[in-house]
Amino acid sequence: MLTPISGPYLVPFESHHISEDMATAPPEDAPGKKGCKKGLAEEIDQLDDLQRRLYAEDRRALLLVFQAMDAAGKDSTIRAVMTGVNPSGCQVYSFKQPSKEELDHDFLWRTTRCLPERGRIGVFNRSYYEETLVVRVHPEYLQNQRIDIPDNLEDLWRQRFEAIRQQEKHLAANGTVIVKFWLNVSRDEQRKRFLSRLEDPQKYWKFSAADVAERQHWDAYMHAYREMLAATSRPWAPWYAVPADDKPFMRWQVAKLIRKTLERMDPQYPDSPASGEHLAQIRKRLKRE
Q: Which pLDDT tens digit goes with each residue over 60-87?
A: 999 999 999 999 999 999 999 998 888 8
For residue 35, list its beta bridge partners: none
Which residue from 274, 280, 285, 266 is spatially nearest to 46, judged by alpha carbons? Answer: 266
Contact 245, 68 (CB under 8 A): no
Return the pLDDT at 289.
Answer: 84
Q: What is the pLDDT of residue 275?
A: 64
pLDDT digits (tens, 9 = 90+) for 248-262: 999 999 999 999 999
Condensed to tens digits (0 to 9), the pLDDT of residues 154-204 reads 999 999 999 999 999 999 999 999 999 999 999 999 999 999 999 888 877
pLDDT at 207 over 80: no
Backbone angle region of 90, left / alpha / beta, with phi > 0 → left and psi within -120 to 50 → alpha: beta
- On average, the pLDDT of the chain sits at 94
- Name every residue whose Cβ is closer than 8 Å to that of residue 97 and which is 6 or more positions away in sequence: none
Domains in the chain (CATH in brackets) are: 33-288 (3.40.50.300)
pTM of the model: 0.93
pLDDT tens figures, 217-253: 999 999 999 999 999 999 999 999 999 999 999 999 9
Is residue 98 scored above 70 in pLDDT?
Answer: yes
What pLDDT shows up at residue 273? 64
pLDDT at residue 15, as a whole number: 80
Model confidence over 252-289: pLDDT tens digits? 999 999 999 999 999 999 886 666 777 788 888 888 88
pLDDT of residue 120: 97
pLDDT at residue 212, rounded to an integer: 86
